[in-house]
Amino acid sequence: MDHASLIRAATQTLIDHVDELTELDSAIGDGDHGLNMKRGALAIQARLREGKDAGSLNETLKGAGATCMSTIGGSSGPVFGTLLVTLANELPAQPAAPDLARALAAGIAALTRLGKAEVGQKTLLDVLDPLQRLLAAGGGDLVDHSRQCALDAAQATAAMDAARGRASFLGDRALGHVDPGSHSMALLVGSICDSLSTP
């Protein structure tokens, strides 16, 4: 499957799960994460339909990142936008698992600088970090393992204290709730893995 099709499928997954993301964010945030992610996903799909960013993987990711920054409200726009732009700058045209691991490491570093967040603070870094380490280790069925790794890591944020964002003001009341950004990332990873598994 070509990279544009992967991105279309991944963005559609966010659109299809808007109510779920809204419910998660309503528990510990502003309640707008689902709609914000849907807005960004629709804007990325529109660019693809118009033939923008239709060239290389790097161009498409860079365009998607810029679109996230300009259309997604709150902190999610800069966060997802920075991640995509960093991946665009780091990935080769035909990336393998070691390339993805290296690019994700750069993305994690960029997001750490951007938000002053660290792994273990109930953010999407808690999905990206174990996924990066899985890809760096290699071996086995990386597609299935990556899907499960992302889902498990997002679910694990429910047991974490929130140190960043609006959830940090809730203290212990944030415990038991999955971080919405982490869940969005797990949905994206799952969609990409599902697409790669489709013959």
| Per-residue pLDDT at 162 | 64
Angle in degrees, 0-180, between the axes of helices 180-197 and 125-137, rounded to the nearest 10:
40
Verdict on whether the full-model pTM lies above 0.75: yes
Is-contact 24 183, C-beta < 8 A? yes
Q: Would you list the domain boundaries of the chain? A: 3-197
pLDDT of the chain, 199 residues: tens digit per residue = 688 899 999 999 999 999 999 999 888 778 899 999 999 999 999 999 988 766 789 999 999 999 999 999 888 999 999 999 999 999 998 899 999 999 999 999 999 999 888 899 999 999 999 999 999 999 889 999 999 999 999 999 999 876 655 545 344 555 678 999 999 999 999 999 999 987 6
| Superfamily (CATH H level) for 3-197 | DhaL domain (1.25.40.340)
| Per-residue pLDDT at 73 | 83
**CA atoms of 140 and 127, how far apart (whole Å):** 20
**CA atoms of 101 and 78, how far apart (whole Å):** 21
Tokens of 68: 């996230």
